[in-house]
Amino acid sequence: MYPTRAEALGRFMKKGMCLFTLTLVVMLSPTAESQQVGGVAPGPAVGEVPFIFLPSPTVADADAARQPIPRLPDGTVDLTGPWVGGGSNVDIELEGGLKAGELPLLPWARELRAKRNKAEEPYTACLPMGVPRVNPYPWKFAMSYTPKGLTHIYLLHETGDAGAHRVIYMDGRAHPADPIPTWWGHSIGRWEEDTLVVDTVGYNDKFWFDSRGTPHTEQLHTVERYTRVNWGRLRHVFLLDDPGAFSRPVTLNFMARLLRSDLKTGGGELMEFICLEDNQYGAAAGIRPGTGTSNK
Amino acid sequence: MRTLLVMIVASVIAIPLFAQGLVSGQGGGGEQTGVLGPVNALGQDIRRPPPPTDPPPRLPDGTIDLGDGLWIGGGPGDMASGLPPGELLPLLPWAKALMEDRERRPSDDPYYWCLPMGVPRVTPYPWRFVQNYTIKPTHMFILHEAIIHTYRQIFMDGRKHPAELDPTWFGHSIGAWEKDTLVIDTVGYNDKFWFDRKGTPHTEQLHTIERWTRINRGTLVNAITIDDPGAYSKPFTVTFNARLAPPGDELMENFCQENNQFGIAGGHTHPFAR
CB contact under 8 A, A78 and B272: no
Distance from CA of A165 to the nearest CA of B (A): 6
Per-chain mean pLDDT for chain B: 83
As a whole-number percent, the residues of chain B with pLDDT over 90 amount to 54
pLDDT computed for residue B36 by the predictor: 59
Rounded-to-integer distance, Cα A225 and Cα B237, Å: 48
* Residues forming a β-bridge with A221: A241
Q: Is the pLDDT of residue A27 over 80?
A: no
Q: Which residue of A has its CA nearest to B160?
A: A1
pLDDT computed for residue A164 by the predictor: 79
Among A18-22, B59-63, B165-169, the range with the most confident prediction by mean pLDDT is B165-169
Average pLDDT over residues B243-262: 82
- Residues B100-129 pLDDT 10s: 999 988 888 888 888 888 999 988 889 999
Would you say B102 and B199 are in contact if contact means Cβ atoms under 8 Å apart? yes
Q: Examine the predicted complex and report whether its ipTM is higher than 0.85.
A: no
CB contact under 8 A, A276 and B257: yes
- Residues A279-288 pLDDT 10s: 666 555 555 5
Segment A157-160 long-range contacts (CB within 8 Å, at least 24 positions apart):
A157/A129, A157/A270, A158/A82, A158/A270, A158/A271, A158/A273, A159/A129, A159/A135, A159/A273, A159/A275, A160/A272, A160/A273, A160/A274, A160/A275, A160/B116, A160/B148, A160/B150, A160/B151
pLDDT computed for residue B262 by the predictor: 67
Average pLDDT over residues A86-100: 95
CB contact under 8 A, A164 and B141: no
Q: Is residue B4 very low, low, confident or very high in pLDDT (cuts 50, 70, 90)?
A: very low
pLDDT computed for residue B156 by the predictor: 94
Could you tell me which of B29, B11, B28 has the C-alpha nearest to residue B20? B29
- Residues B42-92 pLDDT 10s: 666 666 778 899 999 998 888 999 998 999 999 998 999 999 999 999 999
Average pLDDT over residues B235-258: 89
| CB within 8 Å of chain A, chain B residues 162-191 | 162-166, 168-170, 172, 188
Average pLDDT over residues B241-257: 87
pLDDT computed for residue A112 by the predictor: 95
CB contact under 8 A, A144 and B133: yes
Q: Is residue A48 very low, low, confident or very high in pLDDT (cuts 50, 70, 90)?
A: very low
Q: Is the pLDDT of residue B23 over 50?
A: no
Could you tell me which of B51, B14, B200 has the C-alpha nearest to residue B119? B200
Q: Is A150 on the interface with B (CB under 8 A)?
A: yes
- Residues B137-165 pLDDT 10s: 789 999 998 777 789 999 999 999 999 88
Q: Is A183 on the interface with B (CB under 8 A)?
A: yes
Per-chain mean pLDDT for chain A: 79
pLDDT computed for residue A203 by the predictor: 96
CB contact under 8 A, A80 and B114: no
Q: Which of B139, B141, B257, B260 to mutate to test the interface with A (most CBs of A within 10 A)?
A: B257
Q: How many residue pairs from chains A and B have C-beta atoms closer than 8 A?
A: 122
Q: Is the pLDDT of residue B237 over 80?
A: yes
Distance from CA of B152 to the nearest CA of A (A): 9
pLDDT computed for residue B31 by the predictor: 52
- Residues A210-250 pLDDT 10s: 999 999 999 999 999 999 999 999 999 999 999 999 999 99
Distance from CA of B162 to the nearest CA of A (A): 6
Looking at per-residue pLDDT, the higher value among A93 and A126 belongs to: A93
- Residues A122-175 pLDDT 10s: 888 788 889 999 988 899 999 988 888 889 999 999 876 766 789 999 999 999
How buried is residue A267: exposed, middle or buried, by Cβ count under 10 Å (0-12/13-18/19+)?
Answer: middle
As a whole-number percent, the residues of chain A with pLDDT over 70 amount to 73
Contact list in B for residue A70 (CB cut-off 8 A) is 134-135
Q: Is B116 on the interface with A (CB under 8 A)?
A: yes
Distance from CA of B107 to the nearest CA of A (A): 16
How many angstroms separate the Cα of B178 from the Cα of each of A101, B139, B183? 60, 17, 7
pLDDT computed for residue A165 by the predictor: 87
Looking at per-residue pLDDT, the higher value among B98 and B29 belongs to: B98
pLDDT computed for residue B252 by the predictor: 85
Looking at per-residue pLDDT, the higher value among B144 and B223 belongs to: B223
Q: Is A164 on the interface with B (CB under 8 A)?
A: yes
Distance from CA of A24 to the nearest CA of B (A): 25
- Residues A207-216 pLDDT 10s: 999 999 999 9
End-to-end CA distance of chain A: 47
Rounded-to-integer distance, Cα A84 and Cα A97, Å: 17
Residue B8 gets which letter from DSSP? Answer: H
